Amino acid sequence: MAALSHMAPMIIAIDGPAASGKGTLGKRLAHHYGYRHLDTGVIYRAVAKGLLDEGFDLTDEARAVAVAMELDPESFGHPELKTQRIGDAASVVSAIPSVREALVNFQRQFAADPPGAVLDGRDIGTVICPNADVKIFVVADPQVRARRRTLEALARGEAADEAMVLADILKRDERDKNRAAAPLKAAADAHILDNSNLDIEGGVRAAIAIVEAVRAGRGSSR
Ligand SMILES: Nc1ncnc2c1ncn2[C@@H]1O[C@H](COP(=O)(O)OP(=O)(O)O)[C@@H](O)[C@H]1O
Ligand SMILES: Nc1ccn([C@@H]2O[C@H](COP(=O)(O)OP(=O)(O)O)[C@@H](O)[C@H]2O)c(=O)n1
């Protein structure tokens, strides 16, 4: 058993398309293992909201980079960040390479602190933490994702039309997959987890099984 493997913080990278359950899973895995959790989508949403609030265009690169560099993590809990409008805007602003670069250090620093961290997003396993101990790429049928996201919005008291939510999800996935900078894709060494037919508990159990299998294979007790 490699003694050094006990010293480095454990990193679990979760990526996947819109509304696939990354955040829910990330939060639950972090709780299970006593690690910290970062929903990196919130960061891009906060940049988009910052730009829109100031009246700037989403393609104003200089201003977008400035907003990204001035981000206050205290603002990540703002309820407006969860809206479809901001999610869509986030997928426009996140395609700007310099905006992504401005946010790399924050994410890597979060990942580096002991005892371990779970980060979820689009490029965690491919760009932010390519050496993550465990990489999970979460997928679910688009219709299933649209249904879940619609129910989530309705539960918050917002109006939501499932067909429109589906269209938004598909449009965002296409944009995220086809951009040049850090496109949405599974890392070569990611474990694909399809939760279309699993409830939240089932998805969490499947993910824990993946983490445990990887750890057992590496002889680590972290
Ligand atoms: N396995 C699952 N079964 C049912 N609902 C789920 C499951 N995973 C996530 N959800 C729900 O789907 C919605 C989207 O999940 P979320 O974690 O926000 O996805 P993401 O972070 O990928 O956007 C939320 O309402 C969440 O409660
Ligand atoms: N690591 C990340 C996370 C999000 N994003 C962008 O931010 C948008 C919103 O991400 P999110 O994870 O909050 O979206 P949902 O899956 O929750 O709908 C995505 O559509 C991506 O364009 C990204 O580019 N890279």
3-state SS record for the chain: CCHHHHCCCEEEEEECCCCCCHHHHHHHHHHHHCCEEEECHHHHHHHHHHHHHCCCCCCCHHHHHHHHHCCCHHHHHCHHHHCHHHHHHHHHHCCCHHHHHHHHHHHHHHHHCCCEEEEEECCHHHHHCCCCCEEEEEECCHHHHHHHHHHHHHHCCCCCCHHHHHHHHHHHHHHHHHCCCCCCCCCCCCEEEECCCCCHHHHHHHHHHHHHHHHHHHCCCC
Q: Which residues form the pocket of ligand 1, taking CB atoms under 6 Å from any ligand atom? A: 16, 18-24, 148-149, 152, 195, 198-200, 203
pTM, entire model: 0.95
pLDDT in tens, the chain (222 residues): 343 445 678 999 999 999 999 999 999 999 999 999 999 999 999 999 999 999 999 999 999 999 999 999 999 999 999 999 999 999 999 999 999 999 999 999 999 998 999 999 999 999 999 999 999 999 999 999 999 999 999 998 988 999 999 999 999 999 999 999 999 999 999 999 999 999 999 999 999 999 999 988 876 555
**Any idea which ligand is nearest the CA of 197?**
1
To the nearest whole number, what is the mean pLDDT of the chain?
A: 94
ipTM of the complex: 0.98
Q: Is the CB of 145 under 6 A from ligand 2?
A: no
Atom of ligand 1 nearest to the CA of 25: 17
Q: Is the CB of 24 under 6 A from ligand 2?
A: no
